[in-house]
Amino acid sequence: MANRRILRGQPVVRIEPKLDRNEPCWCGSGRKYKTCHMTIDAKIRQFALKGDIVPTRDLLKTEKDLEGIRKSSELNVAILDAVGDMIREGISTQEIDDLVVKMTKEGGGIAAPLNYEGYPKSVCTSVNEVVCHGIPDPDRILQNGDIINVDVSTILDGYFSDSSRMYIIGETTPEKKKLVEVTKECVELGLEQVKPWNYLGDMADVINTHAKENGYSVVVEIGGHGVGKEFHEEPFVSYITKPGTEMLMVPGMVFTIEPMINMGSADIYVDDTDGWTVYTEDGLPSAQWEITVAVKEDGHEVLTW
């Protein structure tokens, strides 16, 4: 589920206090600091002293956290696989919600969107010109040619995962098909930039560039987010920023890559009636794929796709 917050202004660079090398590590691993996070912390400190935006310690997941997020992600992906098996012309978006409710319960999880800031359903179903946060409805029947984003967010044993996929209903137009394909390519290109000591802006730039090269625009106001211990954590993940800007990627960070790519203008609006559904201003289609990724010391780990 995308993050509607926008973080703007000059960020405050926080430098964490130093620990003695023989103290227990702050992460709770039980190891001495010198054999755990001391080397990474020293490198983060160097970037922070230069004025770069760096993650605070509470944003860095331990191996125990990652294992919990992996298990949540497995259930999340299984639900999306099941959606792919059942989705077709003639079903309602409410039927998708019903499936998500059933599978989440059977898997021992909780649907994170339900009642989140008042959201009324367990999944987001965004069809054609709906950019994100589409609310399942028994009267919204899928038609041949529709494209739909199904956004599943799962809590399992206190850990959060988040992922969405695009589905094409029957045979759609070449224009819509290309939009879906290019949006997925944007995610794949962005993922290549996820490695320690790169910046979120490095990822954003390749996504924005690829979208524009294909004649599309990237939504500005809504982006990705940190995830794992909470549904929406810092940082806000933009897809329109420049290389070498935004937060430094550090081993232990977990966040979503979920650009919203519009066929036409980047302008959007929120439905006044439900307060959630986001539409393209010009009524042209939008597409989105979302994955959850962890930054590792040797690159990255894709947790959901």
**pLDDT tens-digit series, residues 242-257:** 999 999 999 999 999 9
Of 213 and 5, more confident: 213
Count of structural domains within the chain: 1
- Residue 30 is assigned to a structural domain of this protein: no
- Residue 228 is assigned to a structural domain of this protein: yes
- Residue 241 is assigned to a structural domain of this protein: yes
pLDDT of residue 119: 98
pTM confidence score: 0.94
What tokens does 86 get? Answer: 């059942």
> pLDDT tens, 98-135?
999 999 999 999 999 999 999 999 999 999 999 999 99
- Residue 29 is assigned to a structural domain of this protein: no
> What is the DSSP pairing of strand 291-296 with strand 299-304?
antiparallel
> pLDDT tens, 194-236?
999 999 999 999 999 999 999 999 999 999 999 999 999 999 9
- Residue 261 is assigned to a structural domain of this protein: yes
β-partners of residue 269 are 279
Q: What is the CATH number of the domain that holds 204?
A: 3.90.230.10
> What is the DSSP pairing of strand 254-257 with strand 291-296?
antiparallel
- Residue 92 is assigned to a structural domain of this protein: yes
Which structural domain range is residue 127 located in?
A: 60-304
Share the mean pLDDT of the chain. Answer: 95
d(CA 37, CA 248): 16
- Residue 2 is assigned to a structural domain of this protein: no
- Residue 51 is assigned to a structural domain of this protein: no
Percentage of residues in the chain with pLDDT exceeding 70?
Answer: 96
